[in-house]
Structure 1
Amino acid sequence: MRLFFDARYIRTDFHDGISRYSAELAQAVADAASAHRTEVTFLIHDERQRAFLPKGAITLTIHSPTSAKEPFASLLLNRHRPDVVFSPMQTIGSGGRRFRLILTLHDTIYYRHRTPPRALPWYVRVGWRLFHLSYWPQRWTLNAADLVATVSETSARQFARVRLTKRPVVVIPNAPQRLAALLPEGTAISAGPVRNLVYMGSFMPYKNVETLVTAMRQLPDHTLHLLSRITPERRAELTALAGGASVVFHDGVTDAAYAALLADDAALVTTSLDEGYGLPVAEALELGVPAVVTDMEIFREVAGDGALYVDPLDPEAVVSAVRSLDDPGVRERLIAAGTAHIGAFDWKRSAEILLSAARDLVRR
């Protein structure tokens, strides 16, 4: 079987969610391909993307996914005779294709929050907003595939509720990166009382960082670390809201620094009002760090019994949950449950699901 894996969404500066998903799954697929008698070719648009692919990977360079040529991508790929094309997104042109096609829609969050990623060209951002005004463009896009992939059971249920596609849906789970590998050799995850609260995520309104900052007024012996890049205006708003509480703005960190902060008497915290997946939660649990998170469906799927769940609009609930982590028994229970639960989210398993699905399409 000849599988073309669309790796054009891998970023060469820093990973976002789609980029990391693409890179991690690409490595796992390459590792498992021989057992499935599969030849994998990775589609790229930038030579620098080779550095993020498995050593010795076969690549095919084509246009960028934001190019005006994208609607005609299948006509180009037909010349190279793939059996199956897998894309970690859903925008690759499907018209005139002579191969099986698996498209991916990670979640439906952009129907509820339509602000597109800022890195996209202006004309793509305009199209993005228009595309998400109704489900019909998405239905038309996904129904052009043979199979639709998504990253969680929660997303699959959301697709079914709004009848987003008549194609079969397969869950190829997202999985956490192994942050422990980024720590200095011999570094142990602190097992003492939690003193640092770590938030990894954007500062968009629905992320509801305000609840975390407000809760800090009642946690004078804790420090809240806000890791992501932030505008001066947003920083000023949150600083005023903190009222002198210990809040540190890191304005962007490396993965290694992120791992080090989580390893230092920390808990992962988020009071987001909506999420597509919640990768930072998964990463914390995999590292053996407790989490305090919003009580929502996707976090229940990702964290299981490995997190404390709170009302995201209630700072008092956050304070109470954080205080409960002072109890060694509570911490140990959460860490054990979280580590066991997140162990089921593994890139090797995800690769096996993708390769098996591709093989079934070819057989049909």
Structure 2
Amino acid sequence: MRVGVDARNLVPSLSGIGRYVLEMCRALGEQGHALILYLPEAPHTPLPPLRGCELRIGTFKGPWRRAVWSMTALPKAAKQDQLDLFWGPAHRLPPGLPVDLPTIVTIHDLVWLKAPETMRWQTWLGERAFMVASLKRARHIVADSEATAEDITAFYPDAAGRVDVIYPGLTTLPPPGGRPLIPMDDQGQKERYALFVGTLEPRKNLAQLLQAFASIPSSSLSGLKLVIAGGQGWRMGDLSALISHHGIQDRVVLTGFVSDAELAQLYASADFLLMPSLYEGFGFPIIEAQSFGVPVITSNRSSMPEVAGDGAVFVNPDDSAAIADAIQRLHSDRELREQLGELGRLNTARFPWEMAATALIQLAVTQDTSARLQTRDVH
């Protein structure tokens, strides 16, 4: 098939949704589909080679010009390219596409409705303005999880018959490497640590996590460190000041943004992953950690139990005492860590990118699509 993709999420440095778009396009291209990736401006960092993918790069820099691009240049180009399918991989479908062109929009989460207090107001406004219209336009709607699908149909009952769940895939990280990140003890040995991975923002619930960690005496954790890996998001202020307020600055390590090789290094030696988020549409760090045999402590709400399967301990993210109890339990019980680690490895087999790409195309294989293909072949 000839697939047009709104690839605006490939412009900034890759993380989260940008990685999802990249991996899905890679898998679709490797399955023999021809993709046209529409970008409002050149990527900030070079993209890796993608088989079967042609880039159409505009000159619309910045968020406001990008919005203009999505309503003008993007649909105009899509009309001219004789597409068999148009895919909006991140909550958006442009107006003005041909009415007979099959369209799919992927919805990763409904943070703007489920946890609006954790968002920037600009992002909230953008979701409200564009997601609702995109849901109405789309012939098919893809949700990253059953939890997100249920949220969509609860808020938008008219979408119920058009929503399908397609799990994202697990990206294989490179071999561990990069700058030294793992704490060392006085003898030069790697210290034990629990790991948090994610953008530093309110939805990730770092305030409760730090409170929980601070409530446990260091002696009860045999000196276990907390390593926080992620770039600065918003409304977290000075995280170092919050850590100092709890008096745990000697027990917490802030790495900042890490490369894939550095992330692999952190996963490879972690005792367990901590992800007590308030809300997640999927939660990539869960399956990334599990692929290294690392057990997980995560929240008992939204998509997290569904994604983690049997390889996790689940907690109420609003209860710092419950988070602290889970940390102590997993720290002290090596047999439980090993058991959950093995169950987590098995769980990751549910998430191949190839299966996700195949499922996406199958949604679009309709009589209308077949007719478009036949018409194009004739001409």
Pairwise same-fold verdict (TM > 0.5): yes
- For the pair 1:3 / 2:3, whether they are aligned, the reply is yes
Pairing of 1:59-208 with structure 2 (within 5 A): 59-62=55-58, 64=60, 66-72=66-72, 73-98=74-99, 99-114=101-116, 126=122, 128-132=123-127, 138-163=131-156, 165-166=158-159, 168-179=162-173, 181-183=174-176, 195-208=192-205
What is the one-letter code of the residue matched to 2:71?
P
- Residue 200 to residue 53, structure 1, CA distance change in 2 (3 Å): same
Contact 2:90-2:105 at 8 Å conserved across structures: yes
Deviation at 1:232, TM superposition (A): 6.0
Are the counterparts in 1 of residues 276 and 299 from structure 2 also a CA contact under 8 Å?
yes
Cα deviations across residues 262-315 of structure 1 (Å, max 9, x unaligned)?
211421102222222211112111221111112113111110110011222333
SS, match of residue 320 in structure 1: helix
Between the aligned partners of 2:337 and 2:271, the Cα distance in structure 1 is 11
Q: C-alpha deviations, 1:146-176, integer Å up to 9, x for none?
A: 1112211111111111126436112221223
C-alpha contact (below 8 Å) 2:142/2:166 kept by paired residues: yes
Q: Is the 8 A contact 1:75 1:97 kept in 2?
A: no
- Aligned residue runs from structure 1 range 281-360, under 5 A: 281-325=286-330, 326-360=332-366
What is residue 233 of structure 1 aligned with on the other side?
Answer: 238
CA distance in 2, matches of 1:362, 1:219: 62
Structure 2 counterpart of 1:18: 17
Secondary structure of the corresponding residue to residue 156 of structure 2:
coil
Whole-Å separation in 2 of the counterparts to 1:55 and 1:363: 24
Measure how far apart 1:246 and its partner are. 0.5
* CA 1:5–1:53: 2 relative to 1, 3 Å: farther
Q: In 1, Cα distance between the equivalents of 2:112 and 2:84?
A: 31
Match of 2:187 in 1: none
Amino acid of the residue matched to residue 202 of structure 1?
A: T
Equivalent pair of 1:290/1:331 in contact (CA under 8 Å): yes
Displacement of 1:222 in angstroms is: 0.7
Task: Tell me, in whole angstroms, the C-alpha distance in 1 between the residues paired with 2:349 and 2:125.
Answer: 39
Identify if the C-alpha distance between structure 1 residues 58 and 313 changes in structure 2 by more than 3 Å, giving closer, same or farther.
closer
Partner of 1:51: 47
CA shift in 2, pair 1:242/1:110, >3 Å: farther
SS at match of 2:290: helix
Equivalent-residue separation in structure 2 for 1:245 and 1:59 (angstroms): 48
Q: Equivalent residue of 1:107, what SS? A: coil
Identity of aligned residues (%): 24
User: CA, structure 1 residues 5+102, in 2 after alignment: closer, same or farther (shift >3 Å)?
Assistant: same
- Give the CA deviation at 1:227: 1.2
Inter-partner Cα distance in structure 2 for 1:2 and 1:227? 39
Moved more, 89-98 or 270-279: 89-98
CA RMSD between the two structures: 2.9
Alpha carbons of structure 1 residues 164 and 234: separation in structure 2 relative to 1, 3 Å: farther
Q: Distance in 1 between matches of 2:276 and 2:342?
A: 23
DSSP 3-state at the match of 1:357: helix
CA contact (8 A) 1:5 1:40 kept: yes
Change (3 A) 1:97 1:53: farther
Q: 1:346 to 1:328 in 2, by over 3 A?
A: same
Residue 26 of structure 2 corresponds to which residue in structure 1?
A: 27
Distance 1:202 1:95 in 2: 35
Work out whether residues 91 and 106 of structure 2, in 8 Å CA contact, stay in contact via their aligned partners in 1. yes
Note the C-alpha offset of 1:52. Answer: 3.1
- Alpha-carbon distance in structure 1 between the residues aligned to 2:114 and 2:325: 30
**Take 2:200 and 2:328, find their aligned partners in 1: how far apart are those partners?**
25
Say whether 1:39 aligns with 2:46: no
Give 1:321 shift: 2.1
Distance 1:158 1:267 in 2: 29
SS in 2 for 1:4: strand
Rounded Cα–Cα distance in structure 2 between residues aligned with 1:90 and 1:265: 34
**What is the alpha-carbon distance in structure 1 between the residues aligned to residue 54 and residue 249 of structure 2?**
55
Contact 2:3 / 2:36 at 8 angstroms: preserved in 1? yes
CA contact (8 A) 1:94 1:145 kept: no
Q: How many residues align?
A: 342
Which residue pairs with 1:261 in the alignment?
266
Contact 1:194 1:267 in 2 (8 A): no
TM-score by length of 2: 0.80
SS of the counterpart of 2:14?
Answer: coil
Report if aligned partners of 1:195, 1:222 keep a CA contact under 8 Å in 2.
yes
